[in-house]
Amino acid sequence: MRLLPAPQALAHAENQYRSRESERSANINEVHRLTAAGVSAMAISTLLGMSERNVQRLRGEAVPSQGWYRFDSSQRRQSKLERTADTVLDLACRIRDEDPEITYRALENLATPDLLEVAMIALAAIPVDATKDDLFGWAEEL
C-alpha cells in the first residue's frame, strides 16, 4: 500500500468516490431508462452485466439528481455562473436600494433550476461570521 501526503490522499479518495458514485448513478439512470422502455429485469441484467436482483434493487432507487454542482468546469458553465452571480448582485442592490417587488417579480419569473442556482450563489455570498443584525439591518427600513 502506498502512503500519500494528506492533500493527495484526500484528492485520491475524492476521485475514487466520484468514480464509484458516477458509475452507480449511470447504472441507476440506465436501469430506469430501460425499465421505462418496457425492458424486463432479466433482459436489463443481461445488457448491463449485473444480476437480476441488482436490477430490481436499482429500480427501487430514486434517479440521481443532475444538479449544477456535478463538476462541470467548462468555459460555457463558468460564463453562465458569472452571469448568474452578476444577476444576484443586481437583484441584491435592487432589493435594498429600490423596490423589493422588482426583485420578487424577477425571481418569480425564473425557472426552478435557475432559481436554485441564484439561491445557491446568493447563499454562498453570505458572510457567515456576521451577525443577523449586520446582515439584515437594512430590512428594518422597509
In whole angstroms, how far apart are CA 51 and each of 57, 70, 122?
A: 10, 28, 45
| pLDDT at residue 141 greater than cutoff 90 | no
CA-based nearest residue to 103, from 111, 113, 93, 112: 93
Query: Residue 32's closest CA among 68, 8, 56, 10?
Result: 56
- Contacts made by residues 83-87, CB under 8 angstroms, sequence distance 24+: 84/114, 84/117, 84/118, 84/121, 85/121, 87/118
Q: What pLDDT does 69 receive?
A: 52
DSSP string, 55-104: HHHHHTSPPPP--TTS----HHHHHHHHHHHHHHHHHHHHHHHS-HHHHH
Per-domain boundaries in the chain:
6-59, 75-141
Predicted confidence at residue 4, as pLDDT, reads 46
- What integer pLDDT is reported at residue 56 of this predicted model? 93
pLDDT digits (tens, 9 = 90+) for 29-69: 888 888 888 889 999 888 888 899 999 999 998 877 665 45
Rounded Cα–Cα distance for residues 89 and 40 (Å): 51
User: What is the 3-state secondary structure of 95-127?
Assistant: HHHCCHHHHHHHHHCCCHHHHHHHHHHHHHCCC
Instruction: Convert the pLDDT of each residue in 72-124 to its tens digit.
Output: 677 888 888 899 899 899 988 888 888 888 888 888 888 888 888 899 899 99
pLDDT(28) > 80:
yes
